Amino acid sequence: MNINNKKCFARFGVSSLAILTMISMASPSFAQNADSKEQEVKPAQTNGKADVVVTGKKPTNKIDRQTYDLTNDIAAQTGSAADALNKVPSVTVDTDGNVALRGNTNVQVLINGKQNAMMKGDNRGAAILSMSGGDIESVEVMNNPGAAFSSEGSAGIINLVMKKNRRPGKFLTLTSTAGENGRFNFSSTGSYTSGKLSLTGGLSYRKDSRLVESNSIATYKTPRSSGIQNTLQSGEILGRRESWQGNIGLDYNFTDNDTIGTQISYLWQESMPLAKREYEGFNSSNSLISNYDLLTDRDDIVKSKSASLNWEHKFKTASRTLKADLRYSNDDSDSKYIDKFAFTLPTTRNYIGQINQKANRENYTFSLDYTTPVGEDTLTSGWQTSIDDAKIDNNGVKIENGITTPDNSKINKFDYNQLVNATFFTYQKQLNPKWGAQAGIRIEDTEVNTNNPISGIYSSTHYTNVNPSAFATYFLTEKSKLRFSYSRRLQRPRANDLNPTPQYLGAESVRIGNPDLRPMTTDAFEIGYEWAKGQESLTMRGFYRLNDDIITTYSNILTGNIIQTQSINAGQSQSGGVEINASKKFFDKLTVSVNSTISYTQLDALYGSKDKIGGTSIGGRMMINYDVTPKDKIQFMMGARGKEYTPQGYTTAQNMSMMSYSHQINPAIYFVANMTNPFDLEKVKTVVETDTLKSFSYRNTEPRVFYVGFRMMIGAKPKNLKTDPNMPPMMPQGRPMGAGPGPMM
């Protein structure tokens, strides 16, 4: 952190803390964060009169989010975090680990309600694919997050709530699965709780590989200096991944009113994709004038670590608390690209290009929340400071005829620092037995400094955003209600979006950032209807989003078949649609859950004959849970991410499917089996069409990846407990995963 940012931190931090203190003293507040046990009031009839009743400390749905329990899902508990997220309605993860919410990848991913460096950079996809799904207890989806959360993420927030068993005693759960081609997964979670002390932890190992086939056709609409007008490319990528992950947490109630906790985690992951590709280039007469084979061998090693310290004090006054949270996370990556070219046209020629990339990303976050009711209402106030540091150091060499020479075009050094100070306030009120509401505002002050020592380009940006949010709930009956919400969100440029020096991601892929990029703003509106009765539920939501200063990339192809992507602001876009979730249980054995999203998107087009690009997108999934016998359970999922539009074209729907089976051998041991992509549906096409280029790219992921294994629980357990509480019950208990909210949550 540089001196200017330290001064800015101190200047804004002191003023924010002063404002927070004065407001907190003037009117007590309620801190609503991901760890808060927020309760939503509901109407009840007592002696013919409407009373206000508070139910449940851990509601399925809070006023600003939906919570999906994953502890009863076989694939989620035995697979990766990607497998777990792919079971959550409206959330999809592709084979590269890219997370999307309602088809939008501009989503913020939190861990236990807090930011983490490995979930903010280019390595997020690899982290999602490497994390153990067995460590995740539930997933919180916030399409319109409240003011207590960072405004980052125009599509919303996905919060991974990690397991934290605090039941008295000792517990250990072991899971091990294996598949063909050397695939192997192992994970363990354990806990020890005695008196005031609670200790939790986990350790996991994953080894996986996937084969992806790709083909592309490109046509250039304007003359090119190389004479090439059309290209054909085909190839395959064998993605190989290996990872270790460990975490440990400690909570201690050192007084009746004070709890202190600390968590430490570490993730090591190595990706070794091996790609083969054939290239053919044709002139305007359709004669072959360029032909080569390319073999790319990559080795990416990422080390991620994080540590946190938190403290909570409960005052004697009911519901009043003070919380402080300090977190540090680091994401360090070291990558090597080796590209081997073998030309036959225009002349026979062989050479090797090598690129070395090093990147380090750090995040420091401190938050302070103060909580207390105001009469029957609650007022929220809080303060948060977040610091992001990133350093990039790349270089390259070229080897031809046994001679190694430096490749100066591959040199790239870049430093990035972002400081965000935020103050937020929300006010929650029960207007009457049927109406409940919450209004909030978040003020974020952002300072960004970048420096490229090679080019001597330095930039500094400072801006302040005021982002309001509002929620309302109307109880129609004890089983149904209406929800209304609004929030303003941001999508800040990432470090690589601001780097103005070409950064090569391989011999034929280069990215250029723009230090003048502005953050994208999103105004999001939603209205929803929710109904639930026993094992049946129905949720319908209508949504609309207006985006300004869209951050996107513009792609074109340079001489030498180099694809260049440049970060730009691309005007406005708007989207709207309807999301439907329904679940029903049949014959006490079969549970069917359906999720569907139908939306329309319109964007300002880039450099083409059209002013606007857009159309309709349909996505969703169906999940089936069937109890074959009291000891045998089958789960099936099939779904798709809807068609995604960009200012230059679109990507077709991305399909996914999964089948899982579990057999209870005894009360503590289960046999499990899981197959992803059983019907070979994971195929996708990307279309780019501008005034200079028209291209079609096809991608197909390896079908039928199969795992089998065992899951076992060891340790003390309460009397009368005959099954592992972390495994799928043979007869589903409570509301099915993804079924939606409880009747009055």
Which residues, 6+ apart, have CB-to-CB distance to 22 below 8 Å?
A: none
pLDDT at position 3 over 50: no
| Domain assignments of the chain as residue spans, ordered by start | 3-715
Give the pLDDT confidence score for residue 716 in this predicted structure.
54
| Angle in degrees, CA 707, 595, 552, rounded to 5 | 85
pLDDT at position 383 over 70: yes
Q: Which one, of 249, 252, 260, lies nearest residue 324 by Cα? A: 260
pLDDT at position 54 over 70: no
Give the pLDDT confidence score for residue 164 in this predicted structure.
76
**Taking residues 585-604, what's their average pLDDT?**
93
Alpha helices in 475-600 (DSSP H): 495-498
pLDDT at position 13 over 70: no
Burial class (CB in 10 A: 0-12, 13-18, 19+), 109: buried
In this structure, the strands spanning 99-101 and 91-93 are antiparallel
d(CA 107, CA 491): 9
By residue count, the chain amounts to: 745
Q: Which one, of 90, 221, 73, lies nearest residue 134 by Cα? A: 73
Is the N-terminal amide bond of 346 cis, ω within 30° of 0?
A: yes
Q: Residue 689: helix, strand or coil by DSSP?
A: strand
Give the pLDDT confidence score for residue 607 in this predicted structure.
63
Give the pLDDT confidence score for residue 42 in this predicted structure.
40
DSSP string, 12-47: HHHHHHHHHHHHHHHS------TT-----EEEEEET
CB 512 within 8 A of CB 146: no
pLDDT at position 52 over 50: no
pLDDT category of residue 564 using cuts at 50, 70 and 90: confident
Q: Which one, of 376, 420, 414, lies nearest residue 395 by Cα? A: 414
Sign of the alpha-carbon torsion through 598, 600, 605, 608: positive
Which overall architecture, per CATH, does domain 3-715 show? Beta Barrel (2.40)
**Amino acid, single-letter form, for residue 737:** M
Percent of all residues in the chain with a pLDDT value above 90, rounded to a whole number: 59
Q: Check residue 104 and report its DSSP letter.
A: B
pLDDT tens digits, residue range 59-117?
355 777 888 888 888 888 888 899 899 889 889 898 888 899 988 888 999 988 888 88
The model's pTM is: 0.84
Q: Residue 150: helix, strand or coil by DSSP?
A: coil
d(CA 151, CA 444): 8
Name the token pair of 269.
Answer: 């992951």
CB 548 within 8 A of CB 500: no
Other CB atoms within 10 Å distance of the CB of residue 406? 11
pLDDT tens digits, residue range 213-235?
999 999 887 777 778 889 999 99
**Amino acid, single-letter form, for residue 558:** L
pLDDT at position 718 over 50: no
Which of 25-34, 542-551, 562-571 is predicted most confidently? 542-551
**Phi, psi dihedrals of residue 129, rounded to the nearest 5°:** -75, -20
CB 584 within 8 A of CB 623: no
pLDDT at position 51 over 60: no
Other CB atoms within 10 Å distance of the CB of residue 518? 15
Q: Residue 153: helix, strand or coil by DSSP?
A: coil
d(CA 52, CA 44): 6
Element (H, E) at 228: none
